[in-house]
Amino acid sequence: MRYDWLDAYLMSKKGVTKDFKAEWNWIRYQIGDKLFTALCLDSNDNPKYITMKLEPADGALLREQYKDILPGYYMNKMHWNSVRPDGDVPDEVLKEMLDASYALVLNGFSKKKQSEILG
């Protein structure tokens, strides 16, 4: 995977936890109890997709611009998008997508819960 910074970048965000969902073979990044990004692994435990939640219009636009951004792997294709981990999506674009996913999920919580998460 060319995005070797991914885990450190996601874990540096306030309130983020990570776990491994063995049934899916996914490393999940969550805020509170809500998923915002997943590293989907193949049967050999190699990264297959990086999946994140985006506003539908933003996801559609990015999929038009980059061949390595696809509708969400095993997720709702309207709200989730997947990036091939060895593709040609620039680091800065992927970081923007991850930031947008984090913000989208965080903003779905009440103001009180957001305050608790952000410490």
Query: Span 6-118: which CATH code?
Result: 3.90.1150.30
The pLDDT score that the predictor gives to residue 50 is 97
86-103 pLDDT, tens digit per residue, is 999 999 999 999 999 999
d(CA 69, CA 98): 13
Q: Which pLDDT tens digit goes with each residue over 23-34?
A: 999 999 999 899
What pLDDT was estimated at residue 74? 81
| For the chain, domain boundaries | 6-118
- In the block, which residue shows the tokens 């915002």? 36
**pLDDT averaged over every residue in the chain:** 95
- The predicted structure's pLDDT at residue 39: 97
**Concatenated DSSP letters of 17-44:** EEEEETTTTEEEEEETTEEEEEEEE-TT
Per-residue pLDDT tens digits for 59-81: 999 999 999 999 988 888 889 99
- Examine the pLDDT at 56 and tell me if it is beyond 90: yes
Cα distance between residue 29 and residue 34, in whole Å: 8
Q: What angle do CA 103, 2, 93 make, to 5 degrees?
A: 35
The better pLDDT of the pair 37, 119 is held by 37
pTM over 0.85: yes
